[in-house]
């Protein structure tokens, strides 16, 4: 019994294009909302939660619909094809609406020239603002008790890539952008409208794309298969991060740059990935071969035949399913809070290019995926996940104390640890959920998995953003640490869904690959 790495890699191109999109989305949409439309962290969190709100009902819906699809291309491929094509068109349209808003900000796009700084100072004169650290200040010669006064001379002397610029100029520029948006709401309305359609397009095929790997992979091999799928996803993400470094999207001087060229390349990457997928993946043939091979190894029992409807879970299985889904909710509450806010946090608290630290995390994850899948096959998925949760809590807890000027080696090490930890969790949690179902229910259980993760990702951008608005941006990593630690507790109550020993026959029993 061996995993077909070639087939799994080809199936992974669907996840590759999904992750390429979401990496661009998570990195740049928060920056567009805060830097260009002037939203606070709580309101930008609501917009960032739109995809997750949609996903709460669309992912289970399209997972179940794809289970019943009997097209010539298979159950999942039609959804991947149509959804990707719609998303590519809408991604370009989104960049057009962003360009409309940039025209409203033309007076301050030069960033740190005396003219721009003077415009910001005069516009925000005597209005109270707050730094990322939670310090209250006003642009004035004098201020009341507990509020810092920033004189005009001091303000005009501030330059890019310095802590003072991030602390005092960036919030003033954000307040200016908010006022311009309030004066002309058309670009924001169009931006949110196009964004909503784009997210609907992505929701159409996320469950079908993820369900395809279990469709063509035997149960004992799914942790290894999921490792390959996640490796492909991380590759898509790291390519987009590299593209971000080329465009310098994380540089303070480019906070108001146009992202049209960046989005166009991401759309092209998605189309190329779709082309490879459609031309190489033979979904119906591979799924049939998987069922036949599973039957030979005695993995699928008669009552698990995918054509015979749903299998009811026992009480212990239901309890385990509830606790694994609750664990998924908790660790996504912590993890997504960081991913949805980090591109803004990195510039304003760490004074670092977010692309580089995220590349380190992604690279560490890529290196980890295959070993993690193999470890889980030997020691079990639950133990492997618990180890990953501990590592993630340590990484986030340490990051809580990092600031601009902190030791770069320690900072990079913590992001690498977070990448390894997330790979350890992610590779094994999805197979644990679908292990409890039969072949014909994979799409529905994939929907359960994504409903849990999206429920967390619906609320956490708003809650974390609200805390950041009230207490300062530095509350982000302590917030994430608490939720990840709670996931360790709930995961202890999971008793089902672990990988079963592989059944080996004949000469294969001597193969230890």
* Closest-CA residue to 442 (of 87, 81, 10, 74): 74
| Residue 25 placed within a domain | yes
The Cα 266–Cα 272 span in angstroms is 10
The Cα 107–Cα 119 span in angstroms is 8
The Cα 412–Cα 457 span in angstroms is 25
Domain limits for position 414: 5-104+186-500
Domain CATH for 25:
1.20.1250.20
Q: Please tell me the predicted confidence (pLDDT) of residue 278.
A: 95
The Cα 187–Cα 99 span in angstroms is 9
| Residue 411 placed within a domain | yes
| Residue 160 placed within a domain | no
| Residue 176 placed within a domain | no
| Residue 151 placed within a domain | no
| Residue 371 placed within a domain | yes
Our count of domains for the chain comes to 1
Q: At what angle do helices 408-434 and 381-399 cross, to 10 degrees?
A: 150
Return the ∠ at Cα 299 (arms to 78 and 490), rounded to 5°: 80
**C-beta separation of 59 from 203 below 8 A:** yes
| Residue 252 placed within a domain | yes
| Residue 110 placed within a domain | no
Q: Please tell me the predicted confidence (pLDDT) of residue 111.
A: 84
The two three-digit tokens of residue 442, written as one number: 């994979």
Q: Please tell me the predicted confidence (pLDDT) of residue 300.
A: 55
pLDDT tens sequence for the chain (513 residues): 788 889 999 999 999 999 999 999 999 999 999 999 999 999 999 998 888 888 778 877 888 899 888 889 999 999 999 999 999 999 999 999 999 999 999 999 988 899 999 999 999 999 999 999 889 999 999 988 889 999 999 999 999 878 889 899 999 999 999 999 999 999 999 999 999 999 999 999 988 998 899 899 988 888 788 778 988 998 999 999 999 999 999 888 899 999 999 999 999 999 999 999 999 999 999 999 998 888 888 875 333 444 455 567 788 888 999 999 999 999 999 999 998 899 999 988 888 888 999 999 989 988 988 788 788 888 999 999 999 999 999 999 999 999 888 898 999 999 999 999 998 998 889 889 888 876 567 767 877 887 888 889 889 999 999 999 999 899 999 999 999 999 999 999 999 888 654 444 433 333 333
Helix runs in 184-259, H state only: 186-216, 222-247
């Amino acid at each position: 019994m061996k995993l077909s790495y070639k087939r799994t890699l080809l199936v992974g191109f669907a996840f590759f294009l999904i992750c390429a999109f979401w990496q661009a989305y998570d990195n740049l949409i928060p920056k567009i909302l805060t830097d260009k439309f002037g939203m606070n962290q709580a309101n930008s969190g609501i917009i960032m939660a739109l995809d997750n709100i949609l996903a709460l009902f669309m992912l289970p819906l399209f997972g179940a619909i794809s289970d019943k699809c009997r097209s010539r291309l298979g159950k999942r491929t039609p959804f991947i094809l149509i959804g990707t094509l719609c998303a590519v068109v809408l991604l370009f349209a989104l960049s057009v609406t962003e360009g409309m808003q940039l025209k409203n900000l033309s007076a301050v796009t030069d960033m740190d020239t005396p003219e721009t700084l003077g415009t910001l100072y005069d516009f925000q004169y005597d209005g109270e603002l707050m730094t990322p650290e939670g310090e209250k200040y006003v642009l004035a010669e004098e201020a009341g008790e507990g509020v810092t006064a920033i004189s005009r001379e001091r303000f005009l002397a501030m330059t890019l890539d310095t802590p003072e610029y991030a602390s005092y100029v960036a919030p003033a520029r954000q307040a200016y952008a908010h006022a311009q948006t309030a004066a002309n709401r058309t670009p924001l309305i169009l931006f949110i409208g196009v964004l909503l359609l784009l997210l609907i397009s992505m929701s159409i095929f996320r469950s079908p794309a993820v369900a395809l790997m279990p469709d063509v992979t035997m149960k004992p091999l799914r942790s290894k298969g999921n490792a390959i799928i996640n490796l492909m996803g991380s590759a898509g993400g790291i390519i987009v991060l590299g593209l971000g470094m080329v465009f310098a999207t994380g540089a303070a001087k480019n906070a108001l740059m146009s992202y049209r060229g960046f989005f166009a390349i991401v759309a092209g990457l998605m189309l190329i990935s779709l082309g490879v997928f459609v031309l190489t993946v033979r979904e119906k043939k591979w799924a049939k071969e998987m069922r036949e091979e599973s039957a030979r190894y005695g993995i699928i029992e008669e009552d698990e035949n995918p054509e015979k409807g749903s299998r009811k879970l026992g009480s212990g299985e239901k309890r385990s399913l509830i606790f694994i889904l609750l664990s998924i909710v908790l660790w996504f509450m912590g993890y997504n809070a960081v991913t949805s806010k980090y591109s803004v946090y990195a510039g304003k608290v760490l004074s670092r290019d977010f692309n580089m630290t995220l590349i380190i995390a992604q690279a560490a994850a890529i290196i980890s995926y295959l070993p993690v899948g193999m470890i889980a096959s030997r020691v079990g998925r639950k133990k492997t996940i618990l180890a990953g949760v501990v590592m993630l809590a340590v990484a986030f807890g340490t990051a809580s104390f990092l600031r601009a000027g902190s030791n770069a080696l320690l900072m990079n090490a913590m992001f690498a640890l977070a990448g390894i930890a997330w790979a350890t969790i992610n590779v094994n949690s999805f197979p644990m959920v679908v292990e409890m179902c039969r072949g014909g229910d994979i799409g529905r259980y994939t929907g359960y998995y994504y409903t849990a993760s999206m429920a967390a990702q619906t609320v956490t951008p708003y809650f974390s953003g609200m805390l950041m608005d009230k207490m300062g941006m530095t509350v982000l990593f302590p917030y994430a640490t608490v939720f990840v630690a709670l996931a360790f507790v709930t995961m202890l109550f999971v008793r089902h869904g672990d990988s079963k020993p592989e059944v080996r026959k004949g000469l294969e029993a001597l193969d230890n690959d």
